[in-house]
């Protein structure tokens, strides 16, 4: 795989570090997660393909072990991070947080992984390493560059919930169907908007112009009534194969079984039957081959990893006796 031979040390912590580590592992890197001693279980649900070393970093000896591991590794990922407040929301409502996708994952984990890969590539030219400062605040802002740059284009200069892409426009909204489900509409371009109106059985000549902001509330009322007249399945069949940019809002289970995702193999299942998205992007020659084994127990690979990094049996036993490390045998599946 693309990162075969790359060694990564990940200090256990909350997102975005675990996601960054999983991305690197998915694409072939050997990722060792440093867990705290005295921790019974890990809350890292993004531990796919990693190994665990339980190490007491509060003691100097533990710090020395970490330094030795790092001296033989290519990457160290640590979890110290800042916070972010979201100001997104609908008109008349208080801002709500868009889960933690924007900051933790996109602005933090993915940006960190990208920075690591850039630094590894540059190292091929200079032979030198460097520090990647992956600030979630700056990463989230960078991901939202289009928002910053489009404020003076008439796309993002109104109050919250009154802009084209934040549910202010009737053609960029979600609508409830007769069976209590929803359809997502993103018919921004004029040609797509015409397909939307046609699919709804409406006459565009009798409707206000698409970009007439003062008429948006009335257009939204008309579209709301139209979508409420049929079920999600019926609307899906009507708009399937069209360029109206109208799609059903699916649950996790429905997304998993959707024909598009089935054909592309967009989801993978581990040995316990847990489903998750496959790594992206897909490389044509060296694609990611993810581990389908269970997540590691805390300290499960301490002895194995230290041995690989040159520690002798005697050194490992001394560290174990001093409480610097913990070794935990994996439980039998029988």
Say yes or no to pLDDT of 73 above 80.
yes
Average pLDDT over residues 48-57: 92
Name 7's bridge partners: 30
Say yes or no to pLDDT of 99 above 70.
no
pLDDT in tens, 1-29: 889 899 999 998 766 788 888 889 988 99
Q: Sorting pLDDT into bands at 50, 70 and 90, what band is 238?
A: very high
Say yes or no to pLDDT of 214 above 50.
yes
Say yes or no to pLDDT of 87 above 50.
no
Give the position of tokens 């970093």.
57
Residues 47 and 296: beta-carbon distance below 8 Å? yes
3-state secondary structure 155-171: CCCCCCCCCHHHHHCCC
Ranges for all domains in the chain classified under CATH 3.40.50.10540:
7-143+293-326
Say yes or no to pLDDT of 82 above 60.
no
Average pLDDT over residues 37-64: 88
Tell me the HSE value of 32 on the side-chain side, using a 13 A CA sphere: 26
Across the chain, mean pLDDT equals 87
Q: Sorting pLDDT into bands at 50, 70 and 90, what band is 333?
A: very low
**Whether the bond into 16 is cis, omega within 30 of 0:** yes
**pLDDT > 70 in the chain, percent:** 91
Taken in order 133, 136, 141, 142, the sign of the CA dihedral is: positive
pLDDT in tens, 116-153: 998 999 998 899 998 989 888 888 887 877 777 677 77
Task: Report pLDDT for 142.
Answer: 78
As a whole number of angstroms, the distance between CA 300 and CA 305 comes to 10
- Provide the H-helix boundaries in the chain: 17-26, 60-71, 111-126, 136-143, 145-149, 190-199, 216-227, 232-239, 252-257, 259-264, 302-308, 313-321
* Nearest alpha-carbon partner for 235 in 178, 194, 273: 178
Q: DSSP states of 24-50 as a string?
A: HHHTT-EEEEEEETT-SS---S--TTE
Q: Sorting pLDDT into bands at 50, 70 and 90, what band is 319?
A: very high
The Cα-based distances of 176 to 161, 201, 268, 303 in angstroms read 18, 17, 31, 56
Task: Report pLDDT for 88.
Answer: 35
Ranges for all domains in the chain classified under CATH 3.30.1540.10:
164-176+182-248
Name 110's bridge partners: none
Active site residues: 104
In the CATH hierarchy, which top-level class contains the domain 7-143+293-326?
alpha beta
CATH topology of domain 164-176+182-248: formyl-coa transferase, domain 3 (3.30.1540)
As a whole number of angstroms, the distance between CA 245 and CA 240 comes to 9
pLDDT in tens, 239-292: 999 999 999 999 989 999 999 999 999 998 888 888 999 998 888 898 988 888
pLDDT in tens, 159-174: 888 888 888 999 999 9
């Amino acid at each position: 795989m693309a990162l075969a031979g790359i060694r990564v040390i990940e200090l256990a912590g909350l997102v975005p570090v675990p996601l960054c580590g999983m991305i690197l592992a998915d694409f072939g890197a050997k990722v060792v997660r440093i867990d705290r001693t005295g921790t019974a279980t890990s809350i890292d649900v993004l531990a796919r393909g990693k190994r665990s070393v339980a190490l007491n970093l509060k003691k100097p000896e533990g710090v020395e072990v970490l330094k030795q591991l790092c001296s033989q590794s290519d990457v160290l990922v640590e979890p110290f991070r800042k916070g972010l407040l979201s100001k997104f929301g609908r008109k008349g409502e208080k801002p709500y947080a868009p889960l933690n996708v924007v900051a933790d994952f996109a602005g933090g984990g993915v940006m960190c992984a990208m920075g690591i890969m850039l630094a590894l590539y540059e190292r091929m030219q200079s032979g030198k390493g460097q520090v990647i400062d992956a600030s979630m605040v700056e990463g989230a802002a960078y991901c939202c560059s289009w928002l910053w740059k489009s404020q003076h284009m008439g796309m993002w200069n109104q109050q919250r919930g009154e802009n084209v892409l934040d549910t202010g426009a009737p053609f960029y909204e979600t609508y409830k169907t007769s069976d209590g489900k929803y359809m997502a509409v993103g018919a921004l371009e004029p040609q797509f908007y015409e397909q939307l109106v046609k699919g709804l059985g409406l006459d565009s000549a009798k409707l206000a112009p698409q970009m007439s902001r003062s008429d948006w509330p009335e257009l939204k009322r008309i579209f709301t009534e139209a979508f409420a007249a049929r079920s999600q399945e019926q609307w899906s069949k009507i708009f399937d194969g069209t360029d109206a940019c109208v799609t059903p809002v699916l649950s996790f289970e429905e997304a998993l079984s959707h024909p598009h995702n089935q054909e592309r193999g967009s989801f993978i299942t581990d040995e316990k039957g847990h489903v998750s998205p496959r790594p992206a992007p897909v490389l044509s020659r060296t694609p990611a081959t993810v581990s389908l084994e269970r997540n590691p127990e805390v300290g499960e690979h301490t002895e194995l990893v230290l041995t690989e990094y040159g520690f002798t049996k005697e050194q490992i036993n001394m560290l174990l006796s001093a409480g610097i490390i913990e070794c935990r045998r994996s439980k039998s599946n029988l």
